[in-house]
Chains A and B, each alone.
Chain A
Amino acid sequence: MFKNIQIKSLLLAAVVFLSSCEKEDPAHIHEGEVITTLEVTVTNQADDSQVIYEFEAEHDDHDNQGNDHGEHEAIELDSNSTYTFEVRFLNESDPDNIEDITVEVIEEADEHQVFFELEGSSITINAASDDHKDSSNNPLHIKTVWETTTAGEVDVIAYLIHEPTSKTGNSRNDFGGSVDAEIEFEAHVEDTP
């Protein structure tokens, strides 16, 4: 039985040794690639007036207020008008260090595509002449021109698509890939008095 005693003391030594390990506090992780906000700058080509809209999700509580940002506001447009839309993707998870993800999207233009999917046919969208382009000269739709016709409320889904299988298409499914951002909003087109 002396063997047993040896083993017991060995076990005891191991217990003492191994229990003395203290776990270090894990470092806080800053998520570098997260998109928290979609910023849309809408410029009325008639008078160069600008409105900036911000869309964010409650998931990304970047201002640390625990606010609910789930409800998105609507973009207000006039009927029979032409607007320039410029989108920016931001990482605002650290308010002291806001990152502009659009820069990466433009750098990796071949692997990204912005697409707006619209209800009805009262708005037509085309790439702006100064839009960013990929290596095959496909516009990224970061800068687009929106032409409105009749008044009405139009549901819009904006997508930032990662690794699309096609860079052109009429519906989300035509593009393939996976979405990095997907924002639903309404475009309110109203007749000017």
Chain B
Amino acid sequence: MLLKYSNFSCCNVFKTVVGIFLLTTSFGYSQNCNLSITGKVISFHDKKPLETAVVQIVGETKNAVTSVDGVFVFENLCPKKLTIKISHINCEDFVTKIDLTASVTLELFMDHHIETLEEVVISKERTDKLSSTTKVYSLTESEKERYNTKGLAGALEQISGVNTLSTGNSIAKPVIHGMFGSRVGIVYNNLMLENQQWGQDHAPNIDINAFEDIRVIKGASALKYAGSIAGGIVVLESSLPIPIDSLYGKTILNGMTNGKGMGIVSSWVKSYENGTYIKAQGTLRKNGDFSAPNYMLTNTGSHEKNIALSVGKNGFHSMWNVYFSYFNTEIAILKSAHIGSIRDLLGAIEADSPSVIEPFAYGIESPKQANTHHTTSLSYSKFLSSNQKLNIKYSWQKNNREEYDLRRGDLKYTPAIDLRLNTHDITTNYEWSRNKGSYDGGLFFQVQDNYSNPDTEVRRLIPDYLKVKWGGYATASFNLSDKVNYAIGMRYEHQSNDVRKWYRNNRWESKNYEELLGSYVINEVVGQRLVSRDLIFNTVSFSTGVRYMPSSRYRIALNFNYAERAPDIAEMFSDGLHHSLATIEYGNPFLTKEKTHKLVLDVEKREGLFTFIASPFITFGEHYIIIEPTGVEQTIRGAFPVWEYSAVNALLAGIDVDLTYEINSELEFRQSTSWVHGTNKNTEKPLIIPPVTTTNQIRYSPQKWNAFSIALHSKITFTQHRFPLNNPDDVPVIENGQKLYKEVDISTPPNGYHNLGLDLNWGPYKIKESAINIGLSFDNLFNVGYRDYMNRLRFYADEAGRNVMFQIKISH
């Protein structure tokens, strides 16, 4: 952003046809003809890579077509003055001259928007802003759009090393390097999402369609946002419009056969020459019951309505923005998964199909979830000089989560869980650069209030609490030489949690809490006592990394992170019954902070049309918090397994491999594989982690039909053979008049599976002032019945069967 403005002030770059920024200049002068130009062509409006742009060196036979990432490479060039011409269907040809003296990396912005073809702007490589030493993975526009109906976790699954933890068909959260929940951070518009992320069945309350830029860092190096996330971070950003008079937008219409789903996503941007802009985006989506190959998945529909509005001004010396968003979703949960006892669970595991199978319906009945998330934020930035910037931001996130169970009588339409989480954040930071270093330091203050509505008439799963958190961070990165980048950062957080929890007396007595917590009791009623505690945690997190680029073909990065995480309120105080797993879950009020050490190595090689990235990692967790079965509790519904949180030492290691090979200008092959291994070092039992997955994709874009492509995807999920044995005690059942004991196998993972998908894309076609893309995709092409280890409802039903999705995108 800084750079953009400094350029703006010296020359009217916006009116030029194209701009180029030399990202990393001069790898050393060479007389040999072994220089290279690596470039990335980016759409100006949405900051997304432009694929299938044709890049030519004028006067030479060399030409290239940009990949899905918008990247092109020319190699074996001699030092001389060159003219590069780029053509793309939606843009006017753009020509630029380069005096090539050394290998260069270029970032080229083309205006994809038809009305303002001339507009091009220059910016620093955006990923460098997030982390200068770790590999940043981003979703391309086509990936994001193809999966726009699947939510954040479904879209991120395209990235190696990212899996999903799901609850049925519509609830999914991302798993990065075998970690999820509070160990994966989700940052949107520079704000950590606060939406009760501790729950395994809590999908992030966010609409990916409101963001142009979605990136993942597998590691914990984004200390600017959080210090506690050891798994990885997902960063969603909306791009800033350029200061010109313009109105543009896009609308995507979706239809799908499985669940008879339909949706519309529309986003509009109005910008003015003085820098003022207005952005509006809305999503409406609805689907009914999904179906597995052999039966309906009764009560699996969902509805979603989201809106985001943003008004701001990009001035010469300052920027401001007012943002408001509303996210609302109602998700039905498979009716058959609502069970009352461990015997019901056994019945479900033994049955081939779910117990409730009804004809298709759009209706959403209990059990279901209804979530809303409001965000309001105000931000202001001031450029103090060409290389210093001060930012301040206030935000308010209001989250409401309601879970409806099957209930009796007057409580039938009352949620069993009704949590209201209000989070206020004030953050300020100061960014500056000098010589070869760039620096960022900031302070933050957060107040979070959780209120659990007692009208549910169900004892609170999460107690009421007030959390106050403050602290600061400092990060620095240095270009030590043309080949070496070094980064270091630190973050300190102080938090105090004022928690008021009602304990049941028999739990209190069986755990002998009187001895340690007796002095915190402030009230007693029949069978219960109220405890008030103020829990204080101080955490320090640290990260450092180095990236070495011995030549334009290789990049090697090594990053180390040390993260301290205060236990979640849920990990310390949760108290309730999980219907779908027939377990009683208890928090552990004596947990201390979790400490993880993580080392990630990225080795990247680009050789002509071949790209290879390997990222092994190793994580050691001290006081690593897990939940595991500890016993049984006798209830009116029989014996229930009790799962309690505890802290162990854990070791997680794995590797992600990505490979891209452009066989020729029409054919591209991509491969990615990821593997994670996790062990509880106290017991040497495996941790619950995703199995090995391998994805292959081949894309054919025939040049003779210049606006058509076809891609075949294959995803193989192997059987997880390392798993902890968490089965409850054998259950007595009466079968044919005989009493016998049966094992309730909740531990053994289901068999692996192979999923095939096909994508067909037509477009963009220019129609008057608009461009139209048409997509037809098939998921689970052969309608295979399978179950997934990372789906918590796998005991009840198969995954969804074949789905044919039709999409029309109109860019205005």
Contacts and interface: CB of A to CB of B under 8 A. Distances in A.
Contacts of A21: 447, 449, 466
A18 B530 contact: no
Given A7-B392, A23-B498, A59-B635, A182 B340 contact: yes
B638 A182 contact: yes
B737 A121 contact: yes
Interface string B226-260: 00000000000000000000000000000000000
A13 B551 CA distance: 52
Contact of B355 (A3, A33, A177): A177
Interface in A162-188: 162-163, 165, 171-173, 176-184
Given A119-B739, A177-B355, A61 B732 contact: no
Contacts of B408: 33, 101, 104-105, 108, 111, 162, 180
A191 interface: no
Contacts of A172: 343, 347, 733
Given A64-B526, A119-B739, A176-B355, A182 B460 contact: no
Interface stretch (B153-161, B484-492, B500-508, B687-695): B500-508
Contacts of B347: 172-173
Contacts of B470: 15
B609 interface: no
B460 A120 contact: no
B528 A118 contact: no
Given A3-B382, A11-B445, A70 B634 contact: yes
A118 B470 CA distance: 61
Interface string B732-751: 11110111000000000000
A74 interface: no
B565 interface: no
A181 B633 CA distance: 14
Given A15-B470, A173-B351, A178-B406, A33 B411 contact: yes
B636 A182 contact: yes
B638 A64 contact: no
Nearest to A181: B636
B734 A108 contact: no
Given A15-B470, A31-B459, A104 B409 contact: yes
B143 to A, nearest CB: 39
A116 to B, nearest CB: 10
Contact of A64 (B527, B634, B732): B527
A111 B635 CA distance: 22
A59 B636 contact: yes
A178 B339 contact: yes
Contacts of A59: 506, 633-636, 640
Contacts of B458: 29, 31
A179 B526 contact: no
B635 A32 contact: no
A45 B522 CA distance: 54
A182 B341 contact: yes
Contacts of A18: 424, 445, 447, 468
Contact of A25 (B338, B343, B460, B523): B523
A155 B734 contact: yes
B635 A60 contact: yes
Given A21-B447, A57-B635, A184-B732, A28 B343 contact: no
B449 A155 contact: no
Contacts of A14: 426, 445
A104 B409 CA distance: 6
Nearest to B504: A61
A179 B634 CA distance: 15
Contacts of B128: none
A33 B506 contact: no
B284 to A, nearest CB: 31
Interface in A47-89: 56-62, 64, 66, 69-70
B457 A31 contact: yes
B464 interface: yes
A121 B738 CA distance: 10
B454 interface: yes
Contacts of B579: 178
Given A14-B445, A165-B356, A182-B637, A25 B500 contact: yes
Contacts of A10: 426
B180 interface: no
A163 B355 CA distance: 11
A25 B522 contact: yes
A180 B449 CA distance: 34
A11 B498 contact: no
A193 B498 CA distance: 67
Nearest to B336: A176
Interface string B445-458: 10101001010111
B719 interface: no
Contacts of A37: 636
B502 A119 contact: no
B237 to A, nearest CB: 23
A163 B633 CA distance: 25
Contact of B390 (A3, A29, A171): A3
Contacts of A163: 406
Given A21-B466, A178-B340, A182-B340, A29 B457 contact: yes
A56 to B, nearest CB: 7
B428 interface: yes
Contacts of B447: 18-19, 21
Nearest to A58: B634
A151 interface: no
Contacts of B733: 172
Contacts of A182: 340-341, 343, 636-638
A111 B408 CA distance: 9
A73 B526 CA distance: 26
A183 B343 CA distance: 12
B527 A32 contact: no
A179 B343 contact: yes
Contacts of B466: 21, 23
B465 A32 contact: no
Given A7-B392, A21-B466, A60-B636, A29 B460 contact: yes
Top 5 A-B pairs, shortest CB-CB distance: A179-B340, A178-B340, A59-B635, A176-B355, A61-B506
Interface of B: 336, 338-341, 343-344, 347, 350-351, 355-356, 382, 384, 390, 392, 406-411, 424, 426, 428, 430, 443, 445, 447, 449, 452, 454, 456-460, 463-466, 468, 470, 498, 500, 502, 504-506, 509, 522-523, 525-528, 530, 532, 579, 633-638, 640, 732-735, 737-739
25 contacts: A11-B443, A18-B468, A23-B449, A23-B500, A25-B500, A26-B452, A26-B464, A26-B500, A26-B530, A28-B502, A28-B523, A28-B528, A29-B459, A33-B407, A33-B411, A57-B634, A93-B526, A107-B409, A108-B409, A111-B408, A157-B734, A162-B408, A180-B340, A181-B636, A182-B343
Interface of A: 3-4, 7, 10-11, 14-15, 18-19, 21, 23, 25-38, 56-62, 64, 66, 69-70, 93-96, 101, 104-105, 107-108, 111, 117-121, 155, 157, 162-163, 165, 171-173, 176-184
Given A28-B528, A31-B458, A93-B527, 10 more contacts: A18-B445, A25-B523, A26-B452, A27-B454, A28-B530, A30-B457, A57-B634, A64-B527, A105-B408, A179-B339
